[in-house]
């Protein structure tokens, strides 16, 4: 039992260290710390208050919204209380029977607070209402109504925009946990699988990658997070993919690829991060969104390919089995790109067969929850 707990704790610490070492997490979040930002640049966050609130976490956002509402109610309640105090409307002054107050039934700070809430949050009055006795009270009611309208519009807009952010749509676009390197139509390629979990499509898709690593220039300059472009293609086309079912994208490892000098034995010792981007437009809202993920060297498997997940029954029904989405299968692959170009290198690995049963006609209609 203690050995299992120790192993679980060690795995948890290793996962946390890996998460810190990533620039982009598996779910697309950017992990970078901005330090020593000048004060004038920090004030730019306040000038762009709309984006600041959109990027803010829900717990901070709701706390600020509650403080703003309560603060505005209390501030105007103080104004009504002062007006009632000056006009002698409070019970402590024992106003006569024929006395006309500025606001009916405001006898203290608590009743002034209730009147402030009613003024800002409703369109009519009940037990407490304004009178034309005090012009300043009428002005305060008008000002509070205008301020309350702006507050409601701003907070309502922030809430709607927060719920409608494209980042929520990206949660239903998933990448494979690992990437694989294998053969494809006579070429050595790096493969990544991506799937859309919704039936609503992404249109105008464009997929590309960046290889992030530390490089040293011939002049001796060290460049941290040097970015190298990685081109990905798919059999369905690089752009405007018909993204209705899971697709396998691949990068051709040729002489211009940064993976050309790597091999099966040296891949794990490399220090880089492969960041993959998928840009698209949501069909339902015509809003652009971007999905990101990253792969470290230990998350790239050399000499594998993805298991098939799509099938078709005799009745012509297409289905996708997501239990095989991250499953990989070993295939004969040269140890390096140089070996691949050398015909002798093709025979270094024993051939391994794999029965592609997923593309056989099934005898029964698929009953999977996810159907195309």
Indicate the SS3 state at residue 193: strand
Residues 115 and 133: their CA atoms lie apart, in Å, by: 16
Q: Grade residue 363 by pLDDT with cuts at 50, 70 and 90.
A: very low
Indicate the SS3 state at residue 80: helix
Of residues 242 and 254, more confidently modeled: 254
Q: Grade residue 13 by pLDDT with cuts at 50, 70 and 90.
A: low
Q: What are the two backbone dihedrals, phi and then psi, of residue 147, each rounded to the nearest 5 degrees?
A: -60, -45
Q: Grade residue 39 by pLDDT with cuts at 50, 70 and 90.
A: low
Please compute the mean of the pLDDT values over residues 312-341 and round it to a whole number: 83
Q: Grade residue 7 by pLDDT with cuts at 50, 70 and 90.
A: low
Q: Say if strands 288-295 and 310-312 run parallel, antiparallel, or are unpaired.
A: unpaired
Q: What is the pLDDT of residue 164?
A: 75
- Residue 142 pLDDT > 70, yes or no? yes
DSSP state of 221: -
Q: Which residues contact 284 (CB under 8 A, 6 or more apart)?
A: 200
- Residue 348 pLDDT > 60, yes or no? no
Q: What is the pLDDT of residues 263-277, one digit of tens each?
A: 898 898 888 999 999
Please compute the mean of the pLDDT values over residues 143-154 and round it to a whole number: 92
Alpha-carbon distances of 198 from 137, 162, 282, rounded to whole Å:
55, 20, 11
| Tokens standing for residue 132 | 């034309």
% residues pLDDT > 90 (the chain): 25
Beta bridge partners of 183: 188
| Tokens standing for residue 46 | 């306040």
For the chain, the average pLDDT equals 80
Please compute the mean of the pLDDT values over residues 87-103 and round it to a whole number: 85
Residues 274 and 276: their CA atoms lie apart, in Å, by: 6
Q: What are the two backbone dihedrals, phi and then psi, of residue 304, each rounded to the nearest 5 degrees?
A: -135, 165
- Strand stretches in 108-186, DSSP E: 173-175, 179-184
Q: What is the pLDDT of residue 68?
A: 93
Please compute the mean of the pLDDT values over residues 230-254 and round it to a whole number: 79
- Residue 185 pLDDT > 80, yes or no? yes
Please compute the mean of the pLDDT values over residues 139-168 and round it to a whole number: 87
Residue tagged 């700070």 (tokens): 109
Residues 46 and 212: their CA atoms lie apart, in Å, by: 32
Q: What are the two backbone dihedrals, phi and then psi, of residue 322, each rounded to the nearest 5 degrees?
A: -75, -5
Cβ-count burial of 80 within 10 angstroms (0-12 exposed, 13-18 middle, 19+ buried)?
Answer: buried
């Amino acid at each position: 039992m203690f050995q299992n707990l120790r192993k679980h704790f060690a795995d948890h610490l290793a996962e946390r260290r890996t998460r810190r070492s990533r620039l982009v997490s598996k779910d697309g979040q950017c992990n970078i710390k901005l330090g020593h930002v000048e004060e004038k640049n920090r004030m730019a966050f306040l000038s762009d208050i709309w984006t600041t609130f959109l990027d803010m976490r829900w717990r901070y956002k709701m706390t600020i919204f509650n403080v703003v509402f309560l603060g505005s109610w209390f501030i105007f309640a103080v104004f009504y209380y002062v007006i009632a105090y000056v006009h002698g409307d409070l019970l402590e002054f024992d106003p006569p029977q024929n006395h006309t107050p500025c606001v009916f039934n405001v006898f203290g700070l608590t009743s002034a607070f209730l009147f402030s809430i009613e003024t800002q949050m409703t369109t009519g009055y009940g037990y407490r209402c304004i009178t034309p006795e005090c012009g300043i009270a009428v002005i305060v009611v008008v000002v509070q109504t205008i301020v309350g309208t702006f507050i409601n519009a701003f907070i309502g807009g922030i809430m709607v925009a927060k719920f409608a952010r494209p980042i929520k749509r990206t949660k239903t676009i998933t990448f494979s946990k690992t990437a694989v390197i294998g053969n494809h139509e006579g070429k050595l390629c790096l493969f990544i699988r991506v799937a859309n979990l919704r039936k609503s499509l992404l249109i105008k898709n464009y997929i590309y990658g960046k290889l992030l690593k530390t490089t040293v220039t011939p002049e001796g300059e060290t460049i941290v997070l040097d970015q190298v472009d990685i081109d990905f293609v798919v059999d369905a086309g690089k752009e405007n993919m018909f993204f209705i079912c899971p697709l396998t994208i691949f990068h051709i490892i040729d002489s211009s690829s940064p993976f050309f000098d790597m091999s099966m034995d040296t891949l794990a010792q490399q220090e880089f991060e492969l960041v993959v981007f998928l840009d698209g437009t949501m069909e339902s809202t015509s809003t652009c969104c971007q999905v990101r993920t990253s792969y470290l060297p230990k998350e790239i498997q050399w000499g594998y390919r993805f298991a098939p997940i799509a099938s078709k029954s005799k009745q012509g029904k297409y289905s996708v089995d997501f239990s095989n989405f991250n499953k990989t299968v070993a295939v004969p692959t040269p140890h390096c790109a140089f070996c691949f170009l050398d015909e002798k290198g093709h025979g270094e690995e024993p051939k391994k067969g794999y029965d592609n049963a997923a593309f056989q006609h099934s005898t029964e209609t698929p009953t999977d929850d996810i159907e195309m």
